[in-house]
Amino acid sequence: MTRVFSGIKPTGSVQLGNFCGAIGRWVDGLPDAGSPAADQRDQVFCVVDLHAMTVDYEPETLTATTRQVASILLAAGIDPARCLLFVQSHVGGIHAECTWLLNCVAGFGELRRQTQFKDKADGSEHVSVGLFDYPVLMAADILLYDTDEVPVGDDQRQHVELARDLAERWNHRFGNTFVVPRATFPPAGARIMDLQTPTKKMSKSDDSPQGVVRVLDDPAVITKKIKSAVTDSDNDVRHDREAKPGVSNLLEIYAGVTGSSIDAAVTAFSASGYGNLKSGVAEAVVEYLAPFQQRSGELMADPGEIDRILRAGAELAAERANAVLQRTKRSAGLLLP
């Protein structure tokens, strides 16, 4: 069975890009309920709250957002009977210790070259060491679960590449210890762009009220945002990210939420103008999110149940991660007690 690990940061309300690039595929890849594969819990998903602390944040907001993101994952179909769901800090000691071990083989230069670090550090008055070390903690997340595949959006490509490099370097230096993971990307929707600035990635932590579709937005609000998406001045529906970023983004969203190809999306709308394209995309997104939105309301009403699921997930995650941590420490020559 292929082992899968992926994570999401509780830094704002989950947006459509998170679903198209990652969460939708996490759910689609789950084994059937009751099957032996489901019992294995080989698919592991994590709300990475320690990563959320690497930039400015409010403590009360972090607590609430962590529970909210977990409930969104559950409502989306991350079923604890078929996979493992936990909060990173609940297994924080193990993840932090593994980060330290990996820090000792990670290079300063390769971390400084990470584009997400450069983007976030650029222009900030205070850049934390945590932000610099972010990709190593992410590598620890992945490597601690003997992960084969990491389903992510395009923006995480370089981070997963670093996790691969660190695993290979460790194995070379200390003998075969880590499974070397690979990132997987969706055929469409790997990088959903902001509706108002289609040259910029849609992001949950961005203050772009009209440009970001939040998955808990009311259907009328979603429709309005998509109908006001920035396009261009001709009326020709085709996919060309350079020349037509806004239209291409709408086509990607359509393909992402309907599971069709970009070519099929172009064919569906090529005879119509931008008005029809926008209505079609809005309808498809509302329809895609409707069952999820209903379940999410029900779940949110029972925070005790969410906490119970997370505690059980953390218990199993700790057991697995600890086995890999001990193997890693042994390989490095640390004297085990």
41: left (phi over 0), alpha (psi -120 to 50) or beta: left
Q: Is 164 in the site for ligand TYM (CB under 6 A)?
A: no
Q: How far is the CB of 60 from ligand TYM (least distance, A)?
A: 20
- H helix count then E strand count, the chain: 15, 5
Q: Facing residues of 266 across strands?
A: none
- The interface mask with ligand TYM, positions 47-86, x = CB under 6 A, is -x--x-----------------------------------
Q: Which residue has the tokens 């995309």?
A: 281
Q: Is 8 in the site for ligand TYM (CB under 6 A)?
A: yes
Catalytic residue list contains 201: yes
Catalytic residue list contains 200: no
Residues touching ligand TYM: how many (CB under 6 A)?
A: 28
Greatest C-alpha distance within the chain: 70
Q: How far is the CB of 32 from ligand TYM (least distance, A)?
A: 24
Q: How far is the CB of 222 from ligand TYM (least distance, A)?
A: 16
Q: Is 31 in the site for ligand TYM (CB under 6 A)?
A: no
Q: How far is the CB of 208 from ligand TYM (least distance, A)?
A: 11
Q: Is 7 in the site for ligand TYM (CB under 6 A)?
A: yes
The residue among 91, 80, 173, 107 whose CA lies nearest residue 140 is 91
Q: Which ranges of 228-261 would DSSP assign to H, the alpha helix?
A: 245-258
Give residues with Cβ within 8 angstroms of 118, minimum separation 6.
Answer: 112
The pair of structure tokens assigned to 212 is 């970001």
Catalytic residue list contains 120: yes
The residue among 8, 39, 10 whose CA lies nearest residue 26 is 8
Catalytic residue of the set 9, 200, 204, 329? 204
Catalytic residue of the set 9, 120, 225, 244? 120
Contact set for ligand TYM, span 140-159 (CB under 6 A): 141-142, 150, 152-153, 155-156, 159
Give residues with Cβ within 8 angstroms of 75, minimum separation 6.
Answer: 292, 293, 295, 296, 298, 299
Kindly indicate which of the ranges 73-81, 195-203, 237-245, 305-313 contains the residues binding ligand TYM, using the contact rule CB under 6 A: 195-203
The residue among 261, 201, 49 whose CA lies nearest residue 137 is 49
Give residues in contact with ligand TYM (CB under 6 A).
Answer: 5-9, 17-18, 20-22, 48, 51, 138, 141-142, 150, 152-153, 155-156, 159, 189-192, 201-203
Active site residues per annotation = 120, 201, 204
